[in-house]
Amino acid sequence: MLIRMNKSKYHNEFNIVLDFVDQLLEYSVQHAQFVEKHFLAHFNAGKPTGAGSWYLSKSKSSDGPVVSGYLGLFHELSIQERSQVHDAFRNDICFFDQYDTSTFCFQSTKLPPILKSALNGFIVPFYSLIFNKTGFDHIGTFSKHPFKRSYFFEGYQQENENVKLCPACLCEIDISQSLIADLDHYFPKHEYPALAILPDNLIPVCLACNERIKIQQDPLDTSAIPGAIQRAFIPYKHEAIDEMEIDIRFGTRDKFVVQLTASSKEDTAIARVENFNRIYDLSGRWPGRLDNLYDSLLSDLAEDFPDWEHLDQWLRIKLTGKRNSSEKGKRKLPLYYLRLKLLEILLNDSLKFKAALRDLRMRRIPED
């Protein structure tokens, strides 16, 4: 992500859910067939009700998507295949801590189609039908009952003073408004099914980033080679703004053109920037925002009683002051990072500075 956000206050609550998912997969490996009576005795721990009863109640019948996904493991896969699915799950949910391990490789992406489909059918309902709707309870102790999407957002808001920033594009968002913000699976759940309910893979972003731009694009250009995960900016770990350069220039009709490049010449660093730009299309979306920022900047300057006789010196002082305030707000205020880069370009590039002088003079209101 462009800026590193703090994890939700309830981030670790997911460990209870992940542990339960792991137990379900382990049970499927240890038993050739699903026998409801034995299943309930195992997961209810001898009580009339418990985790087993709760889980089966999430579907009104065995055809319901929550339970049918689990039963599919027994009906469609051999015990050996279930073991492969289990191993892939255990491997992939550790990606955040294994990022710096050059040998780490996702396994669920390499599963045969039938196994990947079975894992997807089993685990995705935990996110789409339980977390997003009724929430989790009866499988452990949660600080919120039931633990669900709204509480995850609430905890995220509590841990981030700059919660109004989309960490992917730096526009303003309000995570309390579902029409403005969404919870993005950074690694798409259809391609990385083991990560469907993993909090390290869930990051609040603006609706435009999630549903209109990124959609289901893979942040990796390859996931098959060891260490490939290092070719992506991982949520809650990276700050891409420290690893990339922004080249801003005027194109045709004085419209801005943006090019993103890596600060480092290392192949993985270059790939991180290219992959991030590919999935969020910043070089395509930011020029329009720069146009608005530039226009707003000149409008503010024109109303700030310019010293028209010494405009060159006056403008440089004003731009420097705005540049310093933008530096302080680049991780807290919407688009201030982009505003900072625009101001730096105007101050450091003589041609762009002269263009700003010209445009400011054009805004001068004739004296009566």
Closest Cα partner for 205 from 244, 236, 241, 228?
A: 236
Query: What is the per-residue pLDDT for 308?
Result: 93
Query: What is the per-residue pLDDT for 62?
Result: 85
pLDDT means per 10 residues, the chain with 368 residues, are: 93 96 98 96 89 93 92 97 98 96 93 96 96 91 89 91 85 70 90 96 92 93 89 94 89 82 95 96 95 94 93 96 94 91 94 93 76
- Write out the E strands in 241-301: 244-250, 256-262
Query: What is the per-residue pLDDT for 180?
Result: 56
Query: What is the per-residue pLDDT for 255?
Result: 81
Query: What is the per-residue pLDDT for 178?
Result: 57
- Write out the E strands in the chain: 181-185, 202-206, 244-250, 256-262
pTM given for the model: 0.91
Distance CA 187, CA 52 (A): 29
Distance CA 278, CA 181 (A): 20
Q: Rounded to the nearest 5°, which phi and psi values hold at 198? A: -90, 120
Query: What is the per-residue pLDDT for 147?
Result: 93
Are 96 and 11 contacting, i.e. CB atoms less than 8 angstroms apart? Answer: no
Query: What is the per-residue pLDDT for 250?
Result: 78
